[in-house]
């Protein structure tokens, strides 16, 4: 039987997982926005274009890692909650 303290702890953990996911999304968007700025204002300089592509790729990678980690942790938390109630 779960106590109120256990339920609140699980809720805090789920919220922490969501905050971490949002941090991944924020970082990803910042990298992609930086790439867009470089593309827009420094398109004539080849080094900046290469840097912009690197930032864009890293932005997508960070987003994919964030999605993967969020789903993995969410599944583990649901399994944990399912085993605790039995």
Q: What is the 3-state secondary structure (H, E, C) of the chain?
A: CCCHHHHHHHHHHHHHHHHHHHHHHHHHHHHHHHHHHHHHHCCCCHHHHHHHHHHHHHHHHHHHHHHHHHHHHHHHHHHHHHHHCC
| pTM over cut 0.75 | yes
Predicted confidence (pLDDT) per residue in 71-82, tens digit = 999 999 999 887
Predicted confidence (pLDDT) per residue in 31-51, tens digit = 999 999 999 999 899 999 999
């Amino acid at each position: 039987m779960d106590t109120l303290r256990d339920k609140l702890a699980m809720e805090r953990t789920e919220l922490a997982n969501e905050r971490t996911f949002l941090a991944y999304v924020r970082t990803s968007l910042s990298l992609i926005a930086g790439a867009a700025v470089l593309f827009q204002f420094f398109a004539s300089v080849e080094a900046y274009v290469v840097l912009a592509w690197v930032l864009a790729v890293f932005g997508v990678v960070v987003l994919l890692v964030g999605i993967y980690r969020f789903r993995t942790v969410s599944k583990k938390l649901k399994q944990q909650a399912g085993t605790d109630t039995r």
